[in-house]
A and B are shown apart, each in its own frame.
Chain A
Amino acid sequence: MHDTYALYIREMLIFKKNIRTSIGRSLIFPLVLILLLGNLGSTIRNLPAAVVNYDNGVASINFMNALESSGEISITSITNQHTALQMLANGDVAFVLVIPPGFSAASASKPNLVVYIDSSSPIASASAIAALEQTAQSFGAKLATQNIASRTGNSQAQPPSAASGALQANNAPSFSMYTNYTYGASESYKDFLIAGIVIMVTAFGSMWSGGISLLTDRQFGNLKTFLVTPINRMSILFSKMASGITQSMISGFIALGVGILDGGIVAGGAMGWIWIIVFMFLSAFGFSGIATILGARINKIEVFSLIGMAITMPMWFLSGAFLPTSTLPNFMQPFSIYNPMTYAVDAVRDVMLKGFISAANLLFYSTILIVFGAVMAVLSYIAFKQTMG
């Protein structure tokens, strides 16, 4: 314990000395992502859309005008639904809105609007859905209630059709806007992204701190100076993991802070923060394990970086940090299911966007991450024993 503490202090002093580069290295990439991508949704202008208006009444014209005046959507009127869908298939438009006959009739229940949307570009479709929803809300109040009911039901609501490139027909009551549940409660892609990025920074931070320092300590001979003292050798491993976790959580919190300054929210309140810390810790723990396994086995920093990247990049991409996992092509779906990072991202996203995690999900997510962490810890113990013991 004493020796682990002494080595931990050493790691943290080195971290403090290099604080700018250490934190900068793990933050620069994600920050650019949050600031660029996160704000991209709101800067999309003139998203091309086709409207097939079978109604042609006053209300339908008003609806189209309202949609267009949002500034985000540029409407082309098409008389033939088939042609419009062809345009969508060709990628000429981002979505097709079909206004059914009778929409303008002064009846209490309007017929449903039908939206066909290409979900392959989440940024574009998110912004289209936001505009559609906003406009629709001013025409039909039912939409709002519909949204909330759906939200609480399923955190990972699928878009109506996940088949790649396929078109979707939405026939839900009122409007077909439940497509936007792909992005949870907050309609902003930014909030969606922040949760993913916080976990990514935390996981990546542990990759680059504990593991690399184990490697360089061996390379430069510092490790030998520790091994000739009467310490328990395992304290070296423990100190690397502990300092890696601390450092990556610091980076994770900075990423979260930046996300919040940039307009992100933590809907879960105080309890939400606790869950965020717990899931950040669990991710950091597992990835510190991976990092120390690599650090114990690999002798070249270049090889470490390469393998580290080869492990973390796909895990990150497949975790839904960037895009909803449901938008991944079918053959990738299993990879995201077996990816522990998916569950850390889901958990933090639930807390940040939905405001809570159901007890069942909490148990599910945390069990997976604890098992992941435990397996990595055992493997790194074995790797360390083999090469250093």
Chain B
Amino acid sequence: MSEYAIEVYDLVKKFNDLTAVDGITLKISKGEIFGLLGPNGAGKSTTINILLHLLEPTSGKALVGGYDIVKHSREVKKLIGLVPQETVVEPELTAEANLRLFGRLYELPEDEIERKISELLKLAELSEFRYKLAGTFSGGMQRRLAVVKALIHDPSILILDEPTVGLDVQNRTALWNLLKKINRERGVTILLTTQYLEEADMLCNRIAIIDHGKIKALGTPAQLKQSISKGFIIEIFAEQKYTKDIIALIKRKFRLESSVSGDRITVNVSEDPVDFLGKVSSELEKEKLPIVSISMHMPTLDDVFLKITGSSIRDTANNEVVSPTMRLRGR
């Protein structure tokens, strides 16, 4: 067995003339929680579908548990539990019948299936709903059932495609805790994709930022943030006709480079910024440059994303209905 749970080498997937995955290389260690962070259409699901051999790679190579995903897809499937993007339970089956079905598809002995059903329902805190139809469950309950369903065959790797889309804050937190527990207590390697910066930040040991099928940055959340700025980030919103003058002013007065994206100007500040915000504000006022808002924060993954791709992940993810809480600024 390989020391890595998942190895991906120069993976490419083309749909006609669209390159959905454009030369990805990744190594995920055993026991990690690894996040693929990227906007809609970045190629996250495509990458996962290739790992499970639901799609043929155009070129490149990937190994799961040391097995080639194309040549030994059966072995690979036994090692992986998948929670797909469209969370699917069997709505017309009870919780236990859902688990039993998959136990049988993984060819487990019946007595082991029965044991696993009790154990997994307990893990998902669904024991009292054992004989209830999964279709009657709330979104959060269905998601938890889908997660433990993927664990029925004791996989060493759990892959989740956008596991918390559409969940409210409470259910999202509950699911994060469940995933952490699975990782900690069972030693299951977790690979998840997400568009949510908070999720990647909170949950993952390491993150790969993916955009247009390419990995743009890779590291721990702290590493990625420090790569932007060791200090703080000033963020100024102003009407676009003033942004040029504002940038010039900041360069002249403070010798700082700024970057702009639409009506947003960001400035990296590495020195101790005591009253820095006040100084900038008063200079802008002196020059009669109107602004909408000015604020300062520690670097977030959104800043990382902005720097790497030139646009905020929140702007890119406009196809998705993002819950209001997620639209709030990160820490």
Contact = CB atoms under 8 A, between A and B. Distances in A.
User: Is chain B a partner of chain A in the same complex?
Assistant: yes
Interface string B75-109: 00110101011101010110001000110111100
Contacts of B90: 10, 14, 222
B126 interface: no
B88 A220 contact: yes
B27 interface: no
A317 interface: no
Interface residues of A, number: 22
Determine chain A's interface SS by DSSP, over half rule. helix
A224 B104 CA distance: 16
B92 A230 contact: no
A145 interface: no
A82 interface: no
Given A3-B105, A227-B54, A231-B105, A221 B77 contact: no
Nearest to A224: B84
A228 interface: yes
A229 B84 contact: no
Contact of B107 (A2, A13, A225, A226): A2
Given A14-B92, A228-B80, A9 B86 contact: no
A330 interface: no
A9 B82 contact: no
B247 interface: no
B233 interface: no
A221 B52 contact: no
Interface residues of B, number: 23
Contacts of B107: 2-3, 230
Given A228-B54, A230-B74, A17 B133 contact: yes
Interface string A268-290: 00000000000000000000000
B54 A6 contact: no
Contacts of B102: 225, 229
A14 B85 CA distance: 23
Interface of A: 2-3, 5-7, 9-10, 13-14, 17-18, 220-222, 224-231
Given A3-B107, A229-B102, A230-B74, 9 more contacts: A2-B107, A5-B104, A7-B105, A10-B97, A10-B101, A13-B97, A225-B149, A228-B80, A228-B82
20 contacts: A2-B107, A6-B101, A6-B104, A7-B101, A9-B101, A10-B90, A10-B101, A13-B97, A17-B92, A17-B133, A221-B84, A224-B84, A224-B86, A225-B84, A228-B80, A228-B82, A228-B84, A229-B105, A229-B106, A230-B78
Q: What are the nearest 7 A-B pairs in CB distance?
A: A6-B104, A221-B86, A229-B105, A230-B77, A221-B88, A14-B92, A228-B82
